[in-house]
Amino acid sequence: MNLLSLQQKKQNREKIAVLTSYDASFAALSEKSGVDVLLVGDSLGMTIQGHSSTLPVSMTDMQYHTRCVANGTSNVLIVTDMPFGSYQQTPEQAFENAAVLMTAGAHMVKVEGGTIMRSTVKFLVERGIPVCGHLGLTPQSVHQLGGYRVQGRSEAAAKQLLEDAKILEEAGAGLLVLEMVPSSLARTISEALTIPTIGIGAGVDCDGQVLVLQDMLGIYAGKSPRFVRNFMQDNSSIQEAVTAYVAAVKNKSFPAAEHSFE
């Protein structure tokens, strides 16, 4: 699987199934179950390390978990989050840290932010590092955003998100994650771009979907987020649950209306 394959899927209106992954065993299982893209997410700060946010995750953490996932797979696209503070300072800083992650086994790095990331994305892509953008709810900015809230509900905010998406694509981003935005806005953005969009809490009309592995398996404390579906409820093994998730993304039964925002 590569970026050209994902682009072809968008053109053919075939949905893209994405899951987070942090180790070789679950990476291998996910690949075997038909997952197209594995995201080594800084969500590991919460799911693996037990923090309340992604902010404490380090470059060393991301390098280690990327290497683990790469060791467990052979034909899946690996996207790794650049952690907080590893790319915001300068494009040169971003390149230095992105190169570490690529050497560890990533095929693409993910950065959060819109227009302000234009020069950084362009700098990385021109130097051979594929970039995935991330708009909407950007967890590394959770304190600035006032919590984990839906983004883009006002007319001005929706206009800005669409503009940011177009700017990231023009800068060279090859993929775009849309998190917790109204489904109608996500559809507008997806239709406006030639690159694939991957939604999480962004409705069924994105070109693909991503969930945190543990959330998809029903492993979370307290009430689950609205955009999560527990695929273990109707399956007897983890592999069956992952396979069911992939099928639900592909046949557009997930996300349903109850997993989306208006």
CB 217 within 8 A of CB 206: no
Taking the mean position of all CA atoms in its chain, how far away is CA 158? 20
Angstrom distances, CA of residue 234 to CA of 7, 106, 178, 258: 32, 33, 28, 18
Count of other CB atoms within 10 angstroms of residue 223: 7
Query: Is 173 buried (19+), middle (13-18) or exposed (0-12) by CB count in 10 A?
Result: buried
Which tokens sit at 228? 């999560």
Q: What is the sign of the dihedral through the CA atoms of 130, 88, 48 and 228? A: negative
170 is catalytic: no
Angle at 14 between CA 205 and CA 219, to 5 degrees: 70
Q: Considering 179, 240, 258, 262, which one is annotated as catalytic?
A: 179
The residues carrying an active-site annotation are 179
